[in-house]
Structure 1
Amino acid sequence: MSGPEERATADPELRVRVPDELRFFLPARLRRRAAEDPEGVPCPYDGTSSLGHVVQSLGVPLTEVAGLRADGTAVPDSYRPPDGARIALTPVPRPQPLPPDAPSPLRFVLDVHLGALARRLRLLGVDTAYRNDAHDPELVRQANEERRILLTQDRGLLRRRTLWLGAYVRGSRPDDQITDVLARFDPPLAPWTRCPACNGTLVAVAKEEIADQLPPGTRRTYDTFTRCTVCGRLYWPGAHHAGLTARVDAARRAAEGDDAAP
């Protein structure tokens, strides 16, 4: 351990304890040390930056941190710690407490890389905005104006201070991602009520009304149909319905904590 004289002449440094749930955000060179060193990972400190800036410089988005402690005392992310302070991070709990002005039911907007997740959320009836050509400023503006939670795997996007609420989506597979989102936010589910293509509401439609729009084989085989109130797409329980139903059921079990999505 450094003595007082040695510590006084060393470059300013903080020690940051990062819990297991957040260690994957750290640079690879720090992950093992974060797991093995009870003092935490060393972090150079300029003596003036806020604690929030320090945490994000390690790669951890503040959207994933529920609380900060400096030398055992709870502090805000604007706090400027003294040299040598011991910092501890608390991860966001699951399900995550939400601000009083959060809409009910919850609404989401997803970045351009999460198209498969958007489709799965819509299959479950969750209000999910998504465009594959939306730019970052548009996503933040839509999230703020429509009070949607921004879901992304872009840590830079989550650092935007104007964003009212966002979250980093865990998992590389869509099924893992849907499990993560359901566990974190616990949105109410209403499968088969939203258009997977555009997020519009689906309503039942009589076969007689749309018979001329159906392929001959579909017209002969199926009798139950829904139509999107926004884009007009038609849906029926076709050849892929059993697989989609299994996916929806797995996601619902995951949300209830009874099972994991495949």
Structure 2
Amino acid sequence: MNGPEIQIAVAPELRLFVPSDRRQGPTALVTDGSSTLGHVVESLGVPLTEAGRLLVDGRQVAVSHVPSAGERVEVHGVERPQEVPGAPLRFLLDVHLGTLARRLRLLGVDAAYENEDIGDPALAALSAREKRVLLSRDRGLLRRREIWAGAYVYSDRPDDQLRDVLGRFAPALAPWTRCTACNGRLTDADKDTVQDRLEHGTQRTYDVFAQCEACGRVYWRGAHHARLEAIVDRALREFGGAAA
């Protein structure tokens, strides 16, 4: 670039995206004089899904603003909880976030998940078609213009990932109402109607069942229930909601 020089600073929570020499307060950046501020921010490594308010000399501007020489730019993170206008809050997770998808479903959050790598273009198109917030740790995927909305998942630990998503978007929680396998709705099931899907030991031991309306999978409070219940209880204590 060989154009106007600006001073640019990114919020502390966004500094993991930028080169190490730009992590300590405002730094000088030479622009080309025609690129938008949105392009400049992304060229530094910050996905626009993670950028909140953009301030130029203290006033808020749009991503379409073209920087001029001497401007002081501040890039803030998104405000939490983040509002997603225009559609019911629903998520789409990439192939690397299967555990997070299952935990969101456990809490009753609509979370579509592709357990095969269908490729970035197909994921972005699905996000746009179904108006789902695309969750990913792939910065390149989040830069695709066709996605409807997106968010970077900051941790590689499922516990922290779940807290991050719940804290950022504040979805309504309705535990035990979705199939963790396919995201379908669960309904109460009579034991007699599902017994052909149960092993004999399960038939003898349990009497309360639910079944997925979409894939037919049957659920009961088995050996793993205590661990799942702990996940649900933590989420409800911290982020609210009502057990279903």
Please indicate, yes or no, whether the TM-score normalized by the shorter chain is above 0.5. yes
Tell me what 1:188 maps to: 172
Tell me what 1:25 maps to: 17
- 1:155-174 matches, cutoff 5 A: 155-174=139-158
Q: Distance in 1 between matches of 2:177 and 2:240?
A: 20
> CA-to-partner distance for each residue in 1:100-155, whole Å, 9 max, x for gaps?
x122xx11111111111000000001111101223211211111111111111111
Q: Distance in 1 between matches of 2:127 and 2:234?
A: 28
Measure how far apart 1:198 and its partner are. 0.6
Tell me what 1:98 maps to: 84
Tell me the TM-score normalized by structure 2: 0.92
Contact 2:127–2:148, Cα closer than 8 Å, also in 1:
yes
Among residues 119, 122, 125, which one is paired with 1:135 in the alignment? 119
Measure how far apart 1:235 and its partner are. 0.9
Tell me what 1:116 maps to: 99
Q: What root-mean-square deviation, in Å, do the aligned CA atoms of Structure 1 and Structure 2 show? A: 1.7
- 1:1-262 matches, cutoff 5 A: 12-31=4-23, 33-34=24-25, 40-99=26-85, 101-103=86-88, 106-133=89-116, 134-256=118-240
AA of the residue aligned to 2:92? V
AA of the residue aligned to 1:18? V
Contact 2:107–2:175, Cα closer than 8 Å, also in 1:
yes
Q: Distance in 2 between matches of 1:21 and 1:206?
A: 50
AA of the residue aligned to 1:232? G
Q: Distance in 2 between matches of 1:251 and 1:83?
A: 48
AA of the residue aligned to 2:183? N
> Equivalent residue of 1:226, what SS?
strand
Tell me what 1:5 maps to: none
Measure how far apart 1:222 and its partner are. 0.6
Q: Distance in 2 between matches of 1:159 and 1:76?
A: 17
Indicate how the Cα distance of structure 1 residues 75 and 212 shifts in structure 2: closer, same or farther if over 3 A, else same. closer
Contact 1:182–1:254, Cα closer than 8 Å, also in 2:
no
Unmatched runs of 5 consecutive residues or more in structure 1: 1-9, 35-39, 258-262
Tell me the TM-score normalized by structure 1: 0.86
AA of the residue aligned to 2:38? G
Contact 1:13–1:44, Cα closer than 8 Å, also in 2:
yes
> Equivalent residue of 1:112, what SS?
coil
Measure how far apart 1:90 and its partner are. 2.0
> Equivalent residue of 1:66, what SS?
strand
> CA-to-partner distance for each residue in 1:70-127, whole Å, 9 max, x for gaps?
122221111111123210112111101222x122xx1111111111100000000111
> CA-to-partner distance for each residue in 1:196-235, whole Å, 9 max, x for gaps?
1111111111111222321111111111111111111111
Q: How many residues align?
A: 239
Contact 2:173–2:240, Cα closer than 8 Å, also in 1:
no
Further displaced range: 83-92 or 53-62: 83-92
Q: Which has the larger radius of gyration?
A: 1
Contact 1:61–1:159, Cα closer than 8 Å, also in 2:
yes
AA of the residue aligned to 1:20? P
